[in-house]
Chain A
Amino acid sequence: MNIFSPEAMIQLSLALPALAILLVLLTGRFPNVREACTLVVATILFLINCDLASYVFAGERPSWNLGQMMMPGFDIAFTVEPLGMLFALVASGLWVLTTVYAIGYMRGHHEKNQTRFFACFAAAIFAAMAAAFSANLFTLFVMYEVMTISTYPLVTHHGDEKAKRGGRVYLGILLSTSVAFFMFAIAWTWKISATLTFRQGGILSEAFSNGEVSELQLAILLGLFAFGIGKAALMPFHRWLPAAMVAPTPVSALLHAVAVVKVGVFSLLKVAIYIFGLDLINDTGAGEWLCYVAAATILLASLVAMTKDNLKARLAYSTISQLAYITLGAAIATPESALGGGMHIAMHAVGKITLFFCAGAIYVGAHKTDISQMKGLGRAMPFTFAAFLIAAISIIGLPPGGGSWSKWLLALGAAETGQTFLIATLMISSLLNIAYLIPIPIRAFMVPDGEEPQSFNEGPKMCVVPLCITAVGSVALFFYANSIYDCLLPIVQ
């Protein structure tokens, strides 16, 4: 249905979440109306994005320029390209499911301040949409920061001492990195190349061939971006992720799958592909040291994950590890690795959100947070743990999980560089993934020692249905991986 022009669809994609904020605030006193507003808006948003995707994946690049109304000399502009479109699709689609899940969770848990919760959710999605469609680094930075601020009330939702401390780490790390490194990197990029617009092949290559920047400076610049984009959770600026676990689980699902972390790695990929250009990174070796850091993050995070008994903490470190895969893809900077990284955005999103949905369902249904308490719980919650198992397979990278394709591409990219330690890292981390993910559902389906098998007692329906859908989704993506690959291919040409 083509009632909207592509440009209008971009405008709608931004206006709809903003409208949702308003509607939620206005209908705060009527919870059902309020929730319905979010759901309707989210569904429309997803449909609009699907329509927009049909244009973008056919080769068009719709755009919308707001001009220099915010800052003289810098445009607020939006242009849709395949990577951003994929991110937007993932974000808007999962928003619908997360809202359903959140309704079940927040009501099942009798949480307070739900209006504020849903309003901030919509604000975060707005920022995600705007970031996905940004045409230049300035717009991206603005939306990146808006997301940090809009997710703070979500992270500190409970308002107690723990939430305060978690929020402090969250805000502290994200703001420090973005102001001290990211902002500086953007301004430096502007100084070098007099533009901030994302361009096929990057914008720094001319300056480099003119000798205005040296290889060392490019490496430093890439580092400033990599560490400055704190949402990509590269070590040592990763602590905000586990700290944000104090939030209610729908927020963790949002943070770890839909909005925050994906904005991080998405931004990093865009910088690598459209600011530096894959060729430039390869020619100058600017990404070499980043490969090491990313590999270290992958391994260390997996190792730490194995030591965590709290399920959400374990999943948090797993996320850090998985994000580093995408960073590695950007650092290796071959077409396969970049495509693998891009695909992993979708695969990991769907897989990880399932895992978090399960964690939340377990908490609401059985009031358990630690893995050691979950032995035998699978009898009571078969759907939940089955979904957990399926999603875990995707995260680990085994067929028929969608994650296997993205990891395969990343491995191909790593093989191309000839650096054996990278391939080794990928293999070892897959093993570690198995070690810290698989025991959970396996133990759950075992009979607890000396106790009676528990009776069927799943979490709220509105929690369980979404997680089943996303679990199925992570398998479905396995079969659609080829189309995703084809859609993403233009970004590396």
Chain B
Amino acid sequence: MIEFLQYHLPVLLIVIPMIAAPLAVLIGNRRVVQLLSLAVCWTTFGLALWMVAIVNSSGPVSYELGGWAPPYGIEYRVDQLNSFIIMFVSGLGAIVLTYSPHSLNAEIPQSQHYLFYPMYLLCMTGLMGICVTGDLFNVFVFLEISSLSTYALISLGKTRRAPLAAFQYLIMGTIGATFLLIGIGLLYQLTGTLNMADIALQLENQRQINDGQWTGSRTLLVAFAFLTVGLCIKMAVFPLHTWLPNSYAYAPSVVTAFVAATATKVSVYAFIRVVFGIFTPRFAFELLPLDTALWSFSLIGIFMASIAAIFQQDVKRRLAYSSIAQVGYMLLGISMANIDGLSAGIVHMFNHALIKGGLFMVVGCFVLRLGSVHLDDWKGAGRTMPWTSLAWVLGGLGLIGVPVTCGFISKWLLLTAALDNDLYPVAILMLISSLLAVIYVWQVVEVLYFAQPSEKAKKATEAPLLMLVTTYVVVGANIVFGVWTTYSAGLAAKAAKALLEGGSL
């Protein structure tokens, strides 16, 4: 039994949530569906942990779907990088789902719950699929699966702005995915294969990318452009980020918590695979100025988004703009293309998932008790909801990047990576931008603790125990992984090494 599970582990990560989704629709009973979904999510997380253990002890795992050998068959390939990502995506999915019941009851009509869970599971399936697959077209398929379910989830928000936000996201997201499809098509034309490792090999053999001179075809450049731009839309890189604030702000709190913690990170992962696995860093960073483009857009995005966050009265929008800035940090790390920078980018994916997931869970608690996301209504809530407010402070410190929180780990690694590359202006700008985070986080802290309680705050009670405990698990993980990073920065460094030495693919 164990061998069977272990052999099929990569595909089980996807199959289990995928089968559970239509099952849930068929079952229809709210309670049963809830339990089923919880069981499925935690099982997936357990499998993901097992996967991490296997990959770290015996190296990358390759799985042939349906027994068809690559490059004709679809291959699922799990190495240090994607096992790391699968682990925290499934973990956050499980814990946000555990946290969800009270919040869902308040924001989504109970008769619709049995439809919410399948969408959630499908989103999980999609995200897992993007991470686990080694086939480029498969990435597109799973990307669309996760995106479509995300659009549906976002539209479940209470206000009429929610379907509108979902629609706007749909349009931009579909354009992005279609760009991705065009890029995949052009690559297929050039190499005749869809398997990522094989594409890299074919490109190598065709001497498209080699020795200092560009001898290849223009098609490759176009393919690269479409792929990167398509992924940039999904990652919400400036200036293609406009879908994000509305989507995060108007979705139900549980959805925002899950999506904010996972969706953009998985897109960053896809970006890393495409740039480092298929196109090789030498092509992207030496022949083409991707590094300059990345760090300049990242920095502009970081500053613009952080400054925008300072002026938001809606806390979810504030955090949404903050997410755009944080993705900028990830890309900043990636743009440096050395081990430090890449591991900084990768570990920041993990750290930010914890930080933002935690913060949005805190927001969910406040929304439940205060019934509002506006700062004016949150005034003085520090007195009636002390634990929730403390969780905001802890998560906020992580966002600022104070030592002892995981945010500091990413920031320090980014700093040393930038200096290693002699990018002094980048380093200084990055440091200054993190000070902006102090402003937009601390504004909320001051509102919570120093202002006279608003009407809603006076009537509020502390958040339900389940929500508090799960929030503190995530926020606590923030601190734990700020002090003990063997399994975060350590794993990220291993993944970065494997990527740069071309060992994984």
Contacts and interface: CB of A to CB of B under 8 A. Distances in A.
Interface residues of A, number: 30
A221 to B, nearest CB: 13
Given A149-B397, A149-B402, A161-B450, A184 B427 contact: yes
Contacts of B419: 187-188, 190-191
Q: Of B401, B419, B431, which is in contact with the most chain A CB atoms at under 10 Å from its CB?
A: B431
Contact of A69 (B413, B449, B485): B485
Interface in A163-207: 163-164, 168, 171-172, 175-176, 179-180, 183-184, 187-188, 190-191
Interface stretch (B153-161, B352-360, B432-440): B432-440
A69 B483 CA distance: 7
A183 B414 CA distance: 12
Contacts of A190: 416, 419
B233 interface: no
Given A145-B403, A146-B404, A175 B483 contact: no
Contacts of B490: 72
Contact of A159 (B403, B432, B450): B450
Interface string B408-423: 1100110110011000
B150 to A, nearest CB: 34
Contacts of A172: 438
Majority SS of interface residues in chain A? helix
B449 A141 contact: no
A406 interface: no
B484 interface: yes
B57 interface: no
A428 B56 CA distance: 67
A142 B446 contact: no
Contacts of B442: 168, 171
Majority-rule SS of B interface residues: helix
B493 interface: yes
Given A69-B483, A69-B485, A180 B450 contact: no
Contacts, number: 79
A230 to B, nearest CB: 13
Contacts of A179: 401, 431, 434-435
Given A71-B485, A171-B438, A187 B403 contact: no
A156 interface: yes
Given A184-B427, A187-B416, A72 B493 contact: yes
Interface string B198-241: 00000000000000000000000000000000000000000000
A71 B427 contact: no
Contact of A184 (B402, B428, B450, B485): B428
B488 to A, nearest CB: 10
Contacts of B434: 179
Interface string A143-154: 001100100000
B391 interface: no
Nearest to B489: A72
A184 B415 CA distance: 8
* Closest A-B pairs by Cβ, 6 of them: A142-B403, A164-B450, A145-B403, A191-B419, A187-B415, A187-B419
Interface of A: 69-74, 141-142, 145-146, 149, 156, 159-161, 163-164, 168, 171-172, 175-176, 179-180, 183-184, 187-188, 190-191
Interface of B: 343, 397, 400-404, 408-409, 412-413, 415-416, 419-420, 427-428, 431-432, 434-435, 438, 442, 446, 449-450, 482-486, 489-490, 493
